Structure 1
Amino acid sequence: MRNISYWIAYNTNEIMSTKIDPDTLTPMMKQWYACKKQAKDAVLFFRMGDFYEAFYEDAELTSKVLDLTLTKRHNIPMSGVPHHSVEPYIDRLVSKGYKVAIAEQMEDPKMVKGIVKRKIVRTISPGTLVASKLIQDKDYNYICAIVENKKSYGLAFIDCTTTTLHIISLDKRPDLLNELFKIHPSEILCTKAFLKTHSDIFNELRLNYPVAVTHPQEWMENFTFTETFLMQHFCVHTLDGLGFKELPHCTFAAYMVLNFIKETLNTNISHIKDVKRIEIDEVMNLDIITQRNLELIETLSQNSNATLLDLLDHTHTPMGARLLKEWIKRPLLNLEKIQRRQQGTEELTKNTMSLKRLQKYLPAIRDLERLMMKISSSFASPKDFVSLKYSLMQIPKVKYAVQDCTSFLITECGKSFEDTTTLTQFLDGAISDDAPYRISDGGVIKDGYSEELDKLRHLHKTSTSWLTQYQQRLKEELKIKTLKVGYNRVFGYFIEVSRGQSHLMPQGFSKKQTLVNQERFISEELKIFEEKILSAEEKTQQLETRLFEEIRQKVAKHFDLVLDISKALAILDVLASFAHLAIKMDYVRPTITQTTHIDVIESRHPVIEAALIDEPFIPNDCHLDEECKMLLLTGPNMGGKSTYLRQIAHLCILAQMGAFVPAKAATLGLVDKIFTRIGASDDLARRQSTFMVEMAQTANILNNATEKSLIILDEIGRGTSTFDGIAIAQSVLEYLYYKKRAPKTLFATHFFELTKLEKALPKLKNFHVALLEDDTGITFLHKIQAGACDKSYGVHVAKLAGLPEDVIHQAKAILKLLEQKKTPTFHAPQTLFETKIPKEPKWIQELKTLDIENITPLEALQLLHKFKKFL
C-alpha cells in the first residue's frame, strides 16, 4: 500500500500572505519573496547556510505539521530544518498533501560578496516523488493527466521513477472511474472545468483512497505545439508509431503530464523513453466492484494478507512485484500471449533446476529500473551506484539459470541479458563499496580511480603524522610538556598552553584565543600547513563531486541496456513466482479456448486453500456450455456458495494472466469481463440504501455483459420485501437468459421459489451445497451437487453463531408455523416471547437431560411408561 495518509487535496489554495509589502523587506527577504511568488501553492524551503528556512505562513504551517519550533526575527515568523536531513521533513509534508518547493543557494557564499543567488530547483508533489521513502518498492506511484474531448477521455500516466508513459483512450464515463481505480494515481492533473463537471468521479475516488488534484498553471491547447513537444522528447518525426494516431486528447494529456514533471522536478526527463498504449478491449475488464468482491489486491476487511495478489506474490525483485500487480489488474484476451506465459510457467515447473537458480540469484538484484532513472536524472546517491554494481554482477548468473530453457518468453528474456562486464568493472573501479549516502561526506570515489584525488587524500592522511611530529618538536624546543596542537571548526588549527606558561611562547607566535585556563596561539609554520590542508580538503570535495558527475554520465549511457535487462528480469520473476506456486499447491495448466465454455474438474479456491492448515479444501466441478449457460445455486449459509462463485472467477483470472490454476483439469473459454454482485450494505457516504446499491450494481451488469462475460450474482433482491425480491431476482435471471448474447451466469440465492425455473428455462440448471442433517444438527459438506435445496437452515446457522437458546427455540417454533402457512398472532403490548406459541414441554426437557449411560433397564421401562402418557 502507498504510504500516504491524506485525503483528496485540491491544490489550488495559495500558501501566500497578501499582507506582505515587498518594499519593507530586506534584500534577502525580497529574494525569498520572489521565490515564493513562483510557488504560491507550495511550502517553500529557502536555503540559508546549513538550514532550510520557512517564513510567514509556511513557518506557521511547518511548525504545526512538523512539530518545529516557531520563532520570530524582525517580527517575521520562521522555522527551519537542517539541510542534510531535509528529506524526511519533505516526506512528512507530502504525506499530508502539501507540495514542497526547494530554493537552493546557486553560489558559494565564500566566493560572493553580498547576497548569494537563490532559485527554486525542484518542487515535490505526491505524484513527483523520486528519492522518497514514501515510494514503496512493490507499488507504482502514478501521476495521471486527464483530458476530455467530445465525451471521450484521454489519459496519460507515469511513475516518475520509471521509464514508460502509458496512454488510454476511453469512450464511456464509467470506464474512466474503473481505469482510475486500476491506475491508483497519487496525483491527478486536470483543468478546473473538468474537476467541476466530473465532481462525482473525484468524490468516488476520495471515498476510496487518497489522491491529490492539481491544475497545471500553464495549459497549452495548441495541438501543433504539444505534438512538437512530444516528438522532440521521444526523438521521432511522427507520433503515429507511438500510439497517438487519431488520439488528440491523449496527445494533450501526455504533454500535460510530461511538461508538469519536467517543470516540477526541474531536471532532464529523457529517462521516459517508452510509450505504451493500453487498449481496454485487449484485456479482461475488471471493474472496481469486481476487484473488491474478488479481493484481488485488497480484502474487503482491509486485511492485506489474504488477497489473490498475496497468494501469487513470490517475486524477489521490485520490478517483478510491480509487474505481477499489473498482470492481475489486466488479464489478457490475446490467446497467443496467454499461451506464451503459460509455456514459460510450465517450463519452470518441469525444469526445477532453472527455477531454483532463479530463486537463488534474483533476491540479490535491486530495483534496476528506478536505479537507472535516478542515475539518468541526477537524483542518484553514491549508494545507488553500489547497488547497481552488485545487481549487475548477478546478470550472468541469471542468464546461466535459463540457458537451457526453450519456451519463447524465457528465450526472449535471455536475449536481453547482454554482457555487462565492462559496466560492472567500471563501477567496481570507480565507486567505493562503503560509499556514504551523500557525495559531500567524501570517500565516494575509490582509491586508484584518480591520481590527482589520491595525492590530495595522501596529503590529508599524512597531515595527522605531521601534526604529531610538530607537537613533539614544540614541546622539546619550548620545554612545555603540556603543549597541545589541536583543531576546531571555528578557529581552525591552534597551539594550546596553560595561561601560566604563555610567557614562554616565542616571538612570532600570535595569540588566537583566550580561554579560562589556556591560551591558544598559531605560528607561521602552522598557518601555512592549515592553508595547505584546508585547501586540499576543499579541492578533494570539489574534485570528488566533479568525478562523481562524470561517472554518473558514463553510467547513464548504458540506460537502454540496463532497462532491457530490468524488463526481462521482471518477466522471469513473475513466471518463477507462478511456477513456484503451481508446484507448491499442485496447480495445473488450463486449456484456454475461444469458446464461451467453462469446464473445470475439482477446482479449489486458491486463497482459502492456502490458508487452511489442518484440513483439506473440498474441490468442486463447474460445467457451463451451450446446454447449461446458467447455474442456480441454493443451500445454507456457511455452506460454501460464495466461496464456489469466487473460485470460478479466480480461475478465469489466473488462467488469462498466464498462471496455472487450482484444479485437477480446466478448460476455459476466454472471458472478456467479470461482473460480481456479492453482498451489499448501506452506503451512507453516497446516500444510498442497501437495496439501491444492489440495484445499481445489477443494472451495470445487465447493461454491459456480453456472451463472453462471466457474471457472479450472490443474492439479488434481499434489500426489499420477499415478494419484491423474488420478482426482481426472477426478472434478472430471465433477462440474462433471454439476452441475445447471453453471458455465463452463476447465481446463488435463498429464494427457493426460483428453482422451479429449471423446467421453463432448459439451459438453467439447479445445484445445491450438500450437507448432513441429524438430531445433533447439520454438518456442512461444502460439496456442490446437482438439484435444488428446499431449506436454508438459517436457524441452525444462528445456533452455531451463539444466539441464546430461547431465541433459537422461539425461531424454530415460528418457522414451523410459517412452513405450515400459518401466521403467528401478536397482541400489543405483548412482546415476541409473550405470543401463544407453545413452549417446549417439561417432559421433553427431562428427556434431554437423561443420563442414558447410567440408567438401569427397570428405570428405563418406568420412564417410557411415564413419557407415553404425554403422547
Structure 2
Amino acid sequence: MSDPAAQKETGQKGSTEKPGKITPAMQQFYDAKKQYPDCVIFFRMGDFYETFCDDARICARVLDITLTSRGRMPDGQEIPLAGVPYHALDTYLSRMISKGYKVAICEQVEDPKKAKGIVKRAVVRVVTPGTVIDAALLSTEKARYLMAVYPDLKKKRVGLSFIDISIGDFQFTEIPSQDMNDGIRSEAARYHPSECIVPEGTGEDLIRFLHLALSLVSSQNPTLFTQESAEEALCRQFGIKEPEDLPCAGYPAGTIAAGAALLYAQKTQFDSLSHIRSVHRSDIGSQLVLDAVTLRNLEVLQNIRDRTEEGTLVATIDMTLTPMGRRLLRRRIAAPLLDPGAINRRLDAVSYCIDRSAVRDEVRTRIHRFPDLERIAGRVSYGNASPRDLVTLASANESVKNLKLVFSTEHDIPEELSDAIAGIRDITPLADIITKAIVEDPPALVRKGGVIQDGYHEELDHLRTISRNGKQWIADLEQQEKERTGIKSLKIKYNAVFGYYIEITKANLASVPDDYERRQTTANGERYTVPALREMESQIATADERLLSLEEEIFKEILELASKEVPALQEIAHAIGKIDLYAGLAEAALKHQYVRPELVDEPTLLIREGRHPVVESSIGGGFVPNDAELSAGSDQILIITGANMAGKSTYMRSVALSIILAQMGSYVPATYARVGVVDRIFTRVGAFDDLASGQSTFMVEMIELATILNHATERSLVVLDEIGRGTSTLDGYCIAKAVLEHLHGKRSKGPRCLFATHFHEIVGIEADLKRVRNCHFAVKETDKDVIFLRKLVPGATDRSYGIHVAQLAGVPASVVTRSEELMKRIMSGEDLMGGSVKRYTQMILLDAGNDPVRESRPDPLREELRSLQVNEITPMQALTILSGLQEKARHP
C-alpha cells in the first residue's frame, strides 16, 4: 500500500528508529493535524497520500482500503496507517467529501531529489463538501453551496449567506430571530447547502437544530464572524473603498455572515477566489415565500419518497440543455417573484420563444451540449483548469458567436432576452490562442506532457527534436551493436535507477566487446554501457525533464491570459443560462399544452381546466381538468369533501403548483389562468412523525398549523388537507372548525384557502360564514362498483367510500365484508359506534349517571363552555381550553 521510499521518514518497519521516538515526518503530520483538527490529513509521501492514527481508521472504513500499522507512538503503540496512490487522489477525495468529511492536503513543497534531510511539507488546500471546485469532485450540475449562519441576538436578527465557489454565486439575507428556525429551514431547502458554518459559542438549541436540518455543521473561530473582518474582506474582494458602498451595507448580520462565508472559502482554497465578483441580497420581501414544509409537500425540488428529483415539478418542466440553464431554473422555481411587471417580462421572453419556432429551434441546436462555462471560469480563476477545460472553452466560442448571429436579424426582442444577448462577449482572441497552442485532444493533466502544439514555442520544439532524435539514435545504436557483436538478442533498455543500458544474456557473454563497461550483474546476464550511450542518455534526460517543465510553464501562461477573461466568461455563461431557460420553458409549454397566465396585483385566482403538471405527465393522458376560483373578498375558502382517492389532494396541489409556475415566469397547465399575486403558499398535507426531535404526528401537524395561522395574510394561499385527523374525532372536528372561523375572520378579506376534510358535519359552516363555499368530487355509483369521476362540482357530500378504497388496496375480503356489515348496522341505528360506555373522556359526552344531586346542581363544565367567546379565541387558545376541560372531565 505505502511507498517503500517513504519508510525511513515515517519510522515504519525496517527503520532503525526506536519505538516511542517521533520521526521528523510524523512530527510534520502532528503539526498539520494540530492546525486542521477537524480535517482528515492526506499526507504526501512519495507515490502515496498516507493517513495516520484516527484518520487512517476513518479512511479504511470510508474508502474500503487496508488498514495497517507501522511505526510506534511515544507510548509504544503502533501507528495505524492507510494510504491511497497519489495519481488516484481525486477518486478517493470524492468519496470522502460525499460522506461529509473535510480533507486537508499536506503536500511535498520541495523536490525530494533536492531536499537536504526531511522533505518540507505543508497543507496546500482544504477540501470540504461546501468548498469544492475541482471538476472531478463535482459529480452533478447542481449548485454546491456553503452556508454561513450568524445569529445577532442583540439586534434580534439572523444573517444567512450562501456561496458556491465553483460558479461564483454569492447570496446573503437576514431574517428575524423569532423566525430563526423556520427561516433557516426554508432557506436551506431552497439552496440545499452541502456544509454550514457557525461561530463558536452559538447556542446549543440552534446547533442541535442545524445538525438535524443539515448534513455537515462546524463551529469556527468567532474572529471569522466580526463586522470588521467581514467588511474588510468584502471590500477587498470587490475593490470597494468604503463599507457603506457594499451591496450588503445596512444589513449587519447579513454582512457578517457573508464575510465569514467568503473568508472560510478563501482559507480552505488558499486563494482569493477572484471570480467571486459581487454579493447579492436574496430579498425575501420580493419573492413568493415557499418554506421548507411547502417545498416538501408540493414536491417542488425533491420528491417525498427518496429525496431525488424524479416526479417533481422541476423535473417535469425542465427542458433546458445547459448546466447554467438548469441551475437558473432551480433557483427561480424555488423563489418566484411578487412583482407582476417583472413576472410579465419573463413571460414575454417565453412567449417570444414560443412564437418564433425557427429561432427557438436554432437556439436549442446551438446550445445543445454546451459546456459548463460557469465552472470552467471558476477553475480558470482558481488556476486549476485542465488542458481539456481550455480546449472546451475555445470550441464553445463558435457556438457563442453563432448564437448571437441567430438574433442579429430579429426585431422586437423582449427585454429579458435582449439583456441576455447583450451579455454575450467576444472571446475570439483567447480562443484563437488556445486553438493555436493546445493540441486538439489533450491529456487530462498537463504534467503528463503532450499538451502544447508543435510549432507554438521554439524552445519546446527544439527539446522535442532532441528527445525524438535521441530515442531514434538509441534505436539505431541497438541495431549497429547487434551487427557489430553478432549478438541478435542484444537490447538497449531503460529504467529510472540505471538509465539506458545494454543487456546481454549469459549465453552471449563471450561475444561482449572490450570497450563495453559493465554496470550490473543480473540473474540472466550482464548490463553494460558505452561512452556514446552515456552522453546521449544525458542529453535525452535533460531534454525530457526540461520538456515537461517548459510545457507546464507555457500552459500556465495561457491560463493566466484566460484568467483575465473570467468576467467575460461569466457574463457569457449567465447569458446562455437565461436564453436556455426561456427556450426550455417555451418547449415545455408547447409539449404539455400550457397557457400564458395573466398576472394581477389583487387577491383573486381563476384557473380554467387546470391540471396537475406532474401527475398529468406521469399518466400519459386522461387527466381530468378542473376549475379553481378563489377571491379574498368573495369565495375565499373552498371546503372540499368527497371520496377517498377522488382527487382532493391532487386538485389542491395542482392549484398551488400553477401559482408557483406563473410567478416564476412560466406558462401553466390550464386553458386560462388569471393569477392574483400570492405572497406565500402554506401547506398542511400528509402526516409524519419527527422522531428525531421527539414530536408526534399530531404535534407536527399543530406546529405547522400554528405557523400558517400566525403568518398568513390576505395575499396568501393556504392549502389544508385533513386538519385534525391526528387526534380524536371530536377534538379534530373542533380544531378544524375553529381554524376555518379564524381564517375567515370578521374582516372583509382573508387568505385564499383550499380546505379538504372528512369531517362532513363541518360543511354546515357555509351557512354561517359568507365567504365559504362547499364543493366535492363527483362519484358515480353502480350496483357493483364505484367510479371516481375526478370532477369537482358545487355542494357537499357525506360519503367517503373508505371501504371501497380499502377493497381496491387489497384488504382481505373478510375485513371488507365485515366493514360493510357494520356500516349497514350503524346507518340503520342497530349498532352504536363504541358500544355502551359508562364514562367518556370527551367533554360534551359526560355521563352524569343517575345521581339526582348532580342533575339538579349546575355543571361547571357546561357553565364554562357557555361562557366561551368562540369567535374571539385563536385555534391555539382553543386547544389549550379543550385540554383543560378534558382534564377536568377526567378528574371531576
Same fold judged by TM-score > 0.5? yes
Residue range with higher mean Cα deviation, 502-511 or 601-610 = 502-511
Q: Does 1:622 align with 2:628?
A: yes
Supply the distance in 2 between the matched residues of 1:55 and 1:753 (Cα, whole angstroms). 69
- State the Cα distance separating 1:509 from its structure 2 match: 2.3
Supply the distance in 1 between the matched residues of 2:19 and 2:271 (Cα, whole angstroms). 30
Q: Does 1:695 align with 2:695?
A: no
Supply the distance in 2 between the matched residues of 1:827 and 1:60 (Cα, whole angstroms). 63
Task: Work out whether residues 52 and 81 of structure 2, in 8 Å CA contact, stay in contact via their aligned partners in 1.
Answer: yes
Letter in 1 for 2:367: L
Does the C-alpha gap of structure 1 residues 240 and 663 become closer, same or farther in structure 2, counting only changes over 3 Å?
A: farther
- The superposition leaves residues 259-300 of structure 1 with CA deviations (integer Å, 9 ceiling, x where unpaired) of 111111112311111211111111011111111111101112
Match of 1:92 in 2: 95
- State the Cα distance separating 1:334 from its structure 2 match: 1.7
Match of 2:260 in 1: 256
- State the Cα distance separating 1:200 from its structure 2 match: 4.6
Equivalent position SS for 2:311: coil
- The superposition leaves residues 544-587 of structure 1 with CA deviations (integer Å, 9 ceiling, x where unpaired) of 11111111100010011110010011111111111011001111
Task: Work out whether residues 690 and 696 of structure 2, in 8 Å CA contact, stay in contact via their aligned partners in 1.
Answer: yes
Equivalent position SS for 1:170: strand
Residue range with higher mean Cα deviation, 227-236 or 555-564 = 227-236
Match of 2:871 in 1: none
Letter in 1 for 2:40: V
Q: Does 1:724 align with 2:731?
A: yes
Match of 1:846 in 2: none
The correspondence for 2:358, drawn from 346, 353, 356, is: 353
Q: Does 1:212 align with 2:209?
A: no
Residue range with higher mean Cα deviation, 721-730 or 775-784 = 721-730
Q: TM-score, normalised by structure 2?
A: 0.87
- State the Cα distance separating 1:29 from its structure 2 match: 2.8
Letter in 2 for 1:277: R
The correspondence for 1:449, drawn from 442, 448, 456, is: 456
Match of 1:831 in 2: none
Q: How does 1:594-613 map to 2 (within 5 A)?
A: 594-613=601-620
Match of 2:843 in 1: none
Task: Work out whether residues 195 and 202 of structure 1, in 8 Å CA contact, stay in contact via their aligned partners in 2.
Answer: no
Match of 2:715 in 1: 708
Q: Does 1:378 align with 2:383?
A: yes
Task: Work out whether residues 485 and 496 of structure 1, in 8 Å CA contact, stay in contact via their aligned partners in 2.
Answer: yes
The correspondence for 1:104, drawn from 82, 107, 110, is: 107
Letter in 1 for 2:386: S
The correspondence for 2:792, drawn from 784, 788, 798, is: 784
Q: Does 1:418 align with 2:430?
A: no
Residue range with higher mean Cα deviation, 244-253 or 505-514 = 505-514
Does the C-alpha gap of structure 1 residues 748 and 197 become closer, same or farther in structure 2, counting only changes over 3 Å?
A: closer
Task: Work out whether residues 635 and 750 of structure 1, in 8 Å CA contact, stay in contact via their aligned partners in 2.
Answer: yes
Equivalent position SS for 2:126: strand
- State the Cα distance separating 1:470 from its structure 2 match: 1.2
Supply the distance in 1 between the matched residues of 2:806 and 2:450 (Cα, whole angstroms). 70
Q: Which runs of 5+ in 2 are unaligned?
A: 1-16, 73-78, 837-892
Task: Work out whether residues 137 and 318 of structure 1, in 8 Å CA contact, stay in contact via their aligned partners in 2.
Answer: no
The correspondence for 2:34, drawn from 32, 37, 42, is: 37
Letter in 1 for 2:370: I
- State the Cα distance separating 1:602 from its structure 2 match: 0.8
For the aligned residue pairs, the C-alpha RMSD in angstroms reads 2.1
Does the C-alpha gap of structure 1 residues 791 and 79 become closer, same or farther in structure 2, counting only changes over 3 Å?
A: closer
Match of 1:559 in 2: 566
Q: Does 1:24 align with 2:26?
A: no
The correspondence for 1:146, drawn from 140, 149, 152, is: 149
Match of 1:67 in 2: 64
The correspondence for 1:820, drawn from 828, 837, 845, is: 828
- The superposition leaves residues 581-601 of structure 1 with CA deviations (integer Å, 9 ceiling, x where unpaired) of 100111110000001000111
- The superposition leaves residues 760-785 of structure 1 with CA deviations (integer Å, 9 ceiling, x where unpaired) of 22211111101211112211111111
Q: Does 1:737 align with 2:744?
A: yes
- State the Cα distance separating 1:808 from its structure 2 match: 2.5
Task: Work out whether residues 416 and 565 of structure 1, in 8 Å CA contact, stay in contact via their aligned partners in 2.
Answer: yes
- State the Cα distance separating 1:80 from its structure 2 match: 2.0
Equivalent position SS for 2:540: helix
Task: Work out whether residues 22 and 33 of structure 1, in 8 Å CA contact, stay in contact via their aligned partners in 2.
Answer: no
The correspondence for 2:331, drawn from 312, 321, 326, is: 326
Equivalent position SS for 1:193: coil
Letter in 1 for 2:164: D
Q: Which runs of 5+ in 1 are unaligned?
A: 1-19, 829-871
Q: TM-score, normalised by structure 1?
A: 0.89
Supply the distance in 2 between the matched residues of 1:631 and 1:597 (Cα, whole angstroms). 13
Supply the distance in 2 between the matched residues of 1:705 and 1:821 (Cα, whole angstroms). 43
Supply the distance in 2 between the matched residues of 1:479 and 1:768 (Cα, whole angstroms). 102
Task: Work out whether residues 719 and 753 of structure 2, in 8 Å CA contact, stay in contact via their aligned partners in 1.
Answer: yes
Q: How does 1:174-189 map to 2 (within 5 A)?
A: 174-189=182-197
Task: Work out whether residues 402 and 410 of structure 1, in 8 Å CA contact, stay in contact via their aligned partners in 2.
Answer: no
Equivalent position SS for 2:201: helix
Supply the distance in 2 between the matched residues of 1:484 and 1:622 (Cα, whole angstroms). 87
Does the C-alpha gap of structure 1 residues 454 and 186 become closer, same or farther in structure 2, counting only changes over 3 Å?
A: same
Supply the distance in 1 between the matched residues of 2:419 and 2:190 (Cα, whole angstroms). 28
- State the Cα distance separating 1:651 from its structure 2 match: 0.6
- The superposition leaves residues 613-670 of structure 1 with CA deviations (integer Å, 9 ceiling, x where unpaired) of 3x42111111112321111111101111111100000110000010000111110000
Match of 1:471 in 2: 478
Letter in 1 for 2:183: D
Letter in 2 for 1:107: E
Supply the distance in 2 between the matched residues of 1:41 and 1:409 (Cα, whole angstroms). 46
Equivalent position SS for 1:93: helix
- State the Cα distance separating 1:133 from its structure 2 match: 4.3
Task: Work out whether residues 814 and 824 of structure 1, in 8 Å CA contact, stay in contact via their aligned partners in 2.
Answer: no
Q: How does 1:554-703 map to 2 (within 5 A)?
A: 554-613=561-620, 615-625=621-631, 626-703=633-710
Supply the distance in 2 between the matched residues of 1:673 and 1:539 (Cα, whole angstroms). 64
- The superposition leaves residues 393-439 of structure 1 with CA deviations (integer Å, 9 ceiling, x where unpaired) of 21012223334261111111111112222121111112212211111
Does the C-alpha gap of structure 1 residues 682 and 448 become closer, same or farther in structure 2, counting only changes over 3 Å?
A: same
Residue range with higher mean Cα deviation, 279-288 or 238-247 = 238-247
- State the Cα distance separating 1:255 from its structure 2 match: 1.9
Letter in 2 for 1:710: L
Does the C-alpha gap of structure 1 residues 79 and 479 become closer, same or farther in structure 2, counting only changes over 3 Å?
A: same
Letter in 1 for 2:705: T
Supply the distance in 2 between the matched residues of 1:29 and 1:314 (Cα, whole angstroms). 54
Q: How does 1:427-438 map to 2 (within 5 A)?
A: 427-438=434-445
Residue range with higher mean Cα deviation, 771-780 or 31-40 = 31-40
Structure 1 stretches of 4+ moved >6 Å: 20-23, 825-828
Letter in 2 for 1:486: K
- State the Cα distance separating 1:69 from its structure 2 match: 2.9
Match of 2:251 in 1: 247
- The superposition leaves residues 498-537 of structure 1 with CA deviations (integer Å, 9 ceiling, x where unpaired) of 3343344334421112222321101110000000001000
Does the C-alpha gap of structure 1 residues 26 and 694 become closer, same or farther in structure 2, counting only changes over 3 Å?
A: closer
The correspondence for 2:46, drawn from 46, 49, 56, is: 49
Q: Does 1:298 align with 2:302?
A: yes
Does the C-alpha gap of structure 1 residues 64 and 791 become closer, same or farther in structure 2, counting only changes over 3 Å?
A: closer
Supply the distance in 1 between the matched residues of 2:125 and 2:518 (Cα, whole angstroms). 47
The correspondence for 2:321, drawn from 316, 321, 325, is: 316
Letter in 2 for 1:34: D
Supply the distance in 2 between the matched residues of 1:363 and 1:631 (Cα, whole angstroms). 45
Task: Work out whether residues 146 and 188 of structure 1, in 8 Å CA contact, stay in contact via their aligned partners in 2.
Answer: yes
- The superposition leaves residues 789-848 of structure 1 with CA deviations (integer Å, 9 ceiling, x where unpaired) of 1222222222222333332232223222323344348999xxxxxxxxxxxxxxxxxxxx
Match of 1:278 in 2: 282
Q: Does 1:800 align with 2:808?
A: yes
The percent identity for this pair of structures is 39
